[in-house]
Amino acid sequence: MRDTERGELRCEAIALRVRTVENDCPSDDEEWLVIRKDNDETKYLLSNAPPNAELEKLVRMSAGRYWIERAIEDGKGEVGMADYEVRKWRGWHHHMTMTMLAMLLLLEMKIGLGDKCPDLTVQDVRDILQRTLPKKNVTKDDFRKLLEEKIKRRKSAKKSRHRKNKNS
């Protein structure tokens, strides 16, 4: 099915064309019901793949979910994908765009260095960049000014929200 750190993952699988039922109404369209058993775990999934899809491809695609979940986990853990504090939809999109670009950089570096160091992980690349990129020396005065500015902005935003709520 797919390669893992412990070797190739194997499974038994069957796929059937079915119609799903929602609110006691059967669907007009048929979907694939893929039943997959690996080790002692049985997994079920629905797929809208075309009727002529091969079982092997359906199973391979179902196993690909691991890599999608792994990428999201890396995004959350390595570049702060889940660390957003935004109030508007545009801010959320901006945050997601920036984290995806950061993740792209890490993955490009990992892939680029893969021939020389096949065991390199995204976390390794991030750690290397964190230690080697130049950092600005921040003085106590710089830190104080930064905090004062953040607090000033927060108070201003709070006042603005209160004015907006009064006018509503």
In this structure, the number of other CB atoms found within 10 A of the CB of residue 125 comes to 21
CA 127, CA 116: separation in Å to the nearest integer?
18
- Domain range list for the chain: 2-63, 79-135, 140-168
pLDDT computed for residue 2 by the predictor: 65
The phi and psi torsions of 105 (rounded to 5 degrees) equal -60, -45
Rg (CA), the chain: 24
Three-point CA angle 65, 70, 73, nearest 5°: 130
SS3 118: coil
SS3 102: helix
Q: What is the pLDDT of residues 87-146, one digit of tens each?
A: 899 999 999 999 999 999 999 998 998 888 888 888 899 988 888 887 778 788 887 888
pLDDT computed for residue 40 by the predictor: 85
pTM above the 0.75 mark?
no
What single string gives the DSSP state of each residue in 19-66? EEEETTEEEEEEEEEEEEEETTEEEEEEE---TT--HHHHHHHHHTHH
The partner residues of 19 in beta bridges, in order of sequence, read 30
CA distances from 53 to 14, 59, 65 (A): 13, 11, 18
SS3 159: helix
pLDDT computed for residue 75 by the predictor: 93
CA 168, CA 153: separation in Å to the nearest integer?
23
pLDDT computed for residue 131 by the predictor: 84
CA distances from 54 to 9, 14, 24, 58, 61 (A): 19, 11, 30, 6, 11
Which position has the token pair 């070797």? 7
